[in-house]
Copies of this chain bind each other. A is one copy, B any other.
């Protein structure tokens, strides 16, 4: 395994998305991730489509390169094996509802007795504390409760969700940041700790200027379609053949734009002289720009604006996204070979490190694919002992 986290071992009890996405990042950066799954059923994401030859491409994309072992944590023998693995590991991560690990006797307080250096990360909907702590949550609920839905979409239209599970993935990224900062502390002091990340907290953390706007005005920000709340013009326009996004973030760009499109009179128009004025007089400016933007195709706009250095881009559908030369050059679509599913394409690693780059090097594991390997190599169990564990439904 290559990458800056080479040598770090992660025991991964997570399922579905937030947790597995976090351990995917750790694995991409070189950590060894041992995914511990319930015998028989495993991570429920294995059953979520789309499928290729019976294999979930969804599961594949977020569990690439991990090892899978089955282990029944409700049995004493299963708990013992888990704790033996804890002694050999750096990080434990789980995304159960708060309380579940305690009922198993495997909460942080219990397991740190077996390894005081362990970093124990718990990623949940609402966190390990507070009145909502034990409530169930899914991305969609958290997007709704966390406010992002209230500022996304068209004014006066029904609510829309962010089209990817942003609440899960944001929590995953914050969990990784928490783990790596705790790892830094541990390396200096030899002390592990609990990393408690709530999806709801993370949504509040990414509301950006919406909180500042609310605190300043006392009014809850509303959805603005494709428009930015503080910059104008900074939005989508219809072109001759589709849409283009224009992002004019300062007066210099505004003047360049007006000159380029043959409307120098706009530069001197008192209503539009500054960003603050353009934002204030948006309703007067929008139709003027909308007319201008229908005079060329999206590709023409992108090319012309690129020449004069004005940020402008197309709205890419996913097929266009993955074909972009920049995405190809950055190796942001990678391929792994799976024995049943064949070649599978997925997103690459967005962290480019000059000396210890990570690598997407293997497909997701089958359920329990590495059980024997891990138990024999790490814990020294014999074939007979492993067979007995199978027979006793421990693994």
Contacts and interface: CB of A to CB of B under 8 A. Distances in A.
A318 B228 contact: no
Contact of A345 (B163, B215, B309): B215
A157 B155 CA distance: 12
A171 to B, nearest CB: 8
B351 A178 contact: yes
Contacts of A215: 50, 57, 344-346
Interface residues of A, number: 155
9 contacts: A136-B310, A141-B313, A149-B245, A153-B153, A160-B223, A164-B210, A178-B352, A200-B330, A207-B347
A349 B225 CA distance: 29
B212 A58 contact: yes
Contact of A351 (B131, B197, B355): B197
B162 A216 contact: no
A175 B221 CA distance: 28
Contact of A141 (B169, B312, B320): B312
Given A61-B212, A195-B353, A157 B158 contact: no
A254 to B, nearest CB: 14
A85 interface: no
Interface centre among A135, A140, A143, A174 (most CB of B within 10 A): A140
B326 A126 contact: yes
A37 B151 CA distance: 32
A158 to B, nearest CB: 7
A114 to B, nearest CB: 17
A182 B353 contact: yes
Contacts of A238: 158
Interface in A173-216: 173-178, 180-185, 187-188, 191, 193-198, 200-216
A204 B347 contact: yes
A271 interface: no
Nearest to A59: B212
Given A126-B326, A177-B177, 17 more contacts: A49-B230, A50-B217, A147-B318, A147-B320, A150-B163, A150-B318, A151-B164, A153-B153, A154-B158, A164-B208, A170-B173, A197-B350, A198-B330, A205-B348, A211-B333, A220-B317, A220-B320
Interface string A247-263: 10110000000000000
A163 B152 contact: yes
A393 interface: no
A168 to B, nearest CB: 8
B138 A162 contact: no
A188 B130 CA distance: 38
Nearest to A235: B140
A3 to B, nearest CB: 8
A345 B276 contact: no
A69 to B, nearest CB: 24
A380 interface: no
A283 interface: no
Nearest to A154: B160
Given A194-B354, A312-B141, A351-B197, A226 B319 contact: no
B148 A164 contact: yes
Contact of A173 (B151, B177, B313, B321): B177
Nearest to A327: B204
Nearest to A351: B178
Nearest to A60: B212
A162 B148 contact: yes
A105 interface: no
A108 interface: yes
B187 A187 contact: yes
